[in-house]
Structures are given as C-alpha cells and as structure tokens.
Structure 1
Amino acid sequence: MSAEDGDAPIRVLVCDDQDLVRTGFVTIVDAQPDLEVVGEAADGRTAIRLAEQHHPDVVIMDIRMPRMDGIEATRSMAGPGVSDPAKVLIVTTFNLDVLVLDALRAGASGFLLKDARPAELLHAIRTVAAGEALLSPTVTRALIGRYAERVRPADRDHRELDALTAREREVLALIAEGLSNAEIALALVISHETVKTYVSRILGKLNLRDRVQAVVLAHRLGLTGDM
C-alpha cells in the first residue's frame, strides 16, 4: 500500500504508557508516506475507545499499562467473539515474554521487541496490516518453547487434525517451530507460493484466524517434534 500511488495510508493507533516510547513510535510511523498515526493511548481503556472511534488498520499495543493492561485491551479488540477484530501488534521487552503468550492467545496478530530497529517496526506494521501474522522465528522458538506448558489446556482435540493431509501436518509442525514461509519452502523443497497455499488451507480447515493461532494450537496439542 502506498499513499503516493493513490491508496489510503495504513492507519495506526499507538498504545504505550511510556511517553518517550510512544512518541518515538509516532515519529517513526508518521515519517512514512504510506503510514498515518490516528491516535495515541497511554492505557488500555483509552486504547479501546480510540480503536472504536478511529477503526485503525493496526494497533501497536504495549502489555503493561495502567487502568487496563494490553492483554485485556487486546482481548476486547481482537479476542474470541469480536465481530470485527482489530489487528494488534504487541510490543514488549523480552523479560515479559510469558505475558506475550497470553496476549497472542487474546487475539494479537504478532509481537515485536521494543529494542527492534525502526525498519523492523515498519515492516511489522505493514505485515500485520496486510493480514499476515508476524512471528520472529528466533523469538518464537524461545518464547513458545519455554512456555509450551501454559498453552496445553484440554480444550482442543487431536481429532480435529484429521482434516489435514500428511503434508499439511508437516507444514503445521514447521510453523509451530517458528519457521517463516521461506524457511518452510527451503526445508520441504517446495515453492514459496505452495507454502502460502498450504498455510491458507491449514487455517481454513482448523478454523484459525492467522498463523499465530496455528502456532498456539500446535503447542497446545504438543505437536512439535512428533509430527
């Protein structure tokens, strides 16, 4: 998407209780011709109100904020039962990784570390806006691998995987390990477009919203390493 090409810019809501961090995000985003900040929030309740008011394409969400934290705000914006879920990009520090997992389960479309470079932030915003989940392979392996036991409630059944072909199960296992589409294509010796097709089919068959939910489901079922 490019505002210069006549398309509307990606509309971003920035939510962080630290003024310096929030201002930094706003400055970086507003400097891009295809991005536009439509609001700022320092707490979760304000974030929800502004999201309802402005309908942003992407919400940059901190986790620890006053009044209502980012996890509850994310659940209100993008959780189960929300008719028009927002696309939430969680920003955090690595020592809060256990909370990131809760945020992903609450409906977030991805996460980014606060020490990421500006280019990484911009890439993350554009990726999430395009409807793709953003998962850094390295951080995902550490994050979900370390806290896998937290996402294995007995609320899903292995039988639902019966709808998947053997190859789709293989792709799901690689997604759960944090591999990108390009890495999956290389591992399975197939094209990038073929991987995208497999991912789309997996999400559809399992009634999952995005790649993040696929990762969480795979770890809930304990599928990594045995598929």
Structure 2
Amino acid sequence: MTEPPKSRSRVLIVEDHTLFAESLEVALSLEGYDVRRLPLPEEGGSLATLRSLALRINPRIVLLDLDLGRFGDGAALIAPLSRAGANVVVVTSSVDRARWGGCVRSGARKVLSKSAPLQETLATVRRLHQGLPVMSADELEGLLRAWGADALENQDKRRRLETLTPRERQVLSQLMDGSTVREIASTSVVSEATVRTQVKSILGKLQVSSQLAAVGMAHHVGWQPVTGQTSGNLPHMRHAGPARDS
C-alpha cells in the first residue's frame, strides 16, 4: 500500500509557548507535513474562539497543549476537534496520569510529555499519518483507570464540601480569596475567636489539617463561590472539571 503524501496531512499546533511551538513546526515541516500554528489572539478571545479557529483550519492531526495561559485548559478542545475528525495528540508538561486519562476519555489519541524526546512526537505523527495505532490497550486501560480513581476521590471531596453550613461556605470562599482570619472577622463583624472556630469546623469536615489544604481541595474539585455574594447569596458547589496544573 502506497503511503499518501505527507503534505496531505495538515498538522495544527495549538501551543502558547512560542519556542516549543516553533521547534515542532520546523521539525514537522522538514518531514514534509503541511504544518500550521494556531494564531492565539493577543487580546480578547476565549477557548470558544480557539475552537472556531482550529475547526476552520480543518486539520488531520492536532498537537495540543493543555496549559493555554489566559485561555484556560486546552482539554476542552479535545472533544470538538475529535468529533470533527482530527487526531488529537496532547503534548503537555503535566505529569498527572489521571488528567492524561481524562484526555483520552475525551477523545485524544495519545498523550505525550513535553520532556520526552522530540522524536517521540514525530513518530506519533508519522503513525497517525499512516493510519496506525499510537497507543496500546494496556496504556489506554491504565490511563482510564487512573482517571476513574481520581474521579471517585473527587466525588468524595465534593461530598465533604457539601456538608459545610452556609456560614462555613462563606468563610471558605473568603479564605480562597486570600483573606486572613482577622480580615474575615472584621468584614463579618464577629470576633476572631468565632472565625477560628468556624475554620476549625471546616477543616474537620473536610478532613484536612490546614487552611491551605482546605483551599487547595476546593480549587481542585472546582468549588467556587457565587460572585457578588451577600448574606443571602452564599457560595455553593459548582461541579466544574478539576482544576490542575498542566
């Protein structure tokens, strides 16, 4: 079977680190691929903007970073690009296997580490161009298992957060904003001792040992306060995707 010309395989690079993107572009261009870099708007724009721009290019293969700076988590682009027929390869600095599992569950064909040799990325593109598999069943199963275990853990963390009283949710949201116990007491017109008691209750219910750990848990599972809250408009659970470093 004759291999199709590489120029027919349009490769799109979605990456906000210019040097890394340029390295990929040069290496793939030298191999004969039709390589494009997605232009990231300097001002304005969102993930929806990037999605529209990427789909307009109609790539066969997409090399996607997860950390897209002010645009947010690139994982949100995996499903729409995959549904459009693109082979999405995530190239990330994240070492979180659960997050990798989430990517393949959304449709990514492969997840590669940025610390891996460039040849590994090139080899993956070559195999996709040839219509060959790029991930073994064992690798896929391992990543999905890691994602599943993390999802169960996050579910338990959300359950603990739901046990907080309205006042405790309000205090936690203020801790997430960087307020100190003294500042919370001042704005709430209560004593510092009262706030410390509330914080202690929060830590007990969340089963953590520090304010930092409580804030980290809330961020990790996507718990966010309602903006512009008042005493009658308290924070609640919003089941967004986990927020992780990429």
TM-score normalized by the length of structure 1: 0.53
Residue from 61, 71, 74 that aligns with 2:75:
71
Contact 2:60–2:85 at 8 Å: present in 1 too?
no
Aligned residues: 144
1:85 Cα deviation from its structure 2 partner: 2.9
Other-structure match for 1:54: 57
Secondary structure at the residue paired with 1:95?
coil
Other-structure match for 2:120: 120
- Percentage of identical aligned residues: 21
1:149 Cα deviation from its structure 2 partner: 2.0
Contact 1:111–1:134 at 8 Å: present in 2 too?
no
User: Bigger CA drift: 35-44 or 59-68?
Assistant: 35-44
Tell which structure's C-alpha radius of gyration is larger: 2
Question: Structure 2, unaligned stretches of length 5 or more?
Answer: 41-45, 153-246
Other-structure match for 1:29: 28
Other-structure match for 1:16: 15
Determine whether 1:87 maps to 2:87.
Answer: yes
Secondary structure at the residue paired with 1:115?
coil
Contact 1:70–1:103 at 8 Å: present in 2 too?
no
Other-structure match for 2:102: 102
> 1:113/1:139 Cα in 2 relative to 1: closer, same or farther (>3 Å)?
farther
Other-structure match for 1:149: 149
1:94 Cα deviation from its structure 2 partner: 4.5
Q: Which aligned runs of 4 or more in structure 1 are off by greater than 3 angstroms?
A: 41-47, 129-133, 136-148
Q: Please give the alpha-carbon distance, in whole angstroms, between the structure 1 residues aligned to 2:103 and 2:73.
A: 10
1:32 Cα deviation from its structure 2 partner: 0.9
> 1:13/1:136 Cα in 2 relative to 1: closer, same or farther (>3 Å)?
same
Other-structure match for 1:214: none
What are the Cα deviations for residues 92-147 of structure 1, in whole angstroms up to 9, with x where unaligned? 12523332221111111111111222221111112233444422789657644544
Q: RMSD over aligned Cα, in angstroms?
A: 2.9
Question: Structure 1, unaligned stretches of length 5 or more?
Answer: 153-227
Q: Please give the alpha-carbon distance, in whole angstroms, between the structure 2 residues aligned to 1:124 and 1:40.
A: 20
1:24 Cα deviation from its structure 2 partner: 1.4
> 1:45/1:116 Cα in 2 relative to 1: closer, same or farther (>3 Å)?
farther
User: Bigger CA drift: 60-69 or 125-134?
Assistant: 125-134
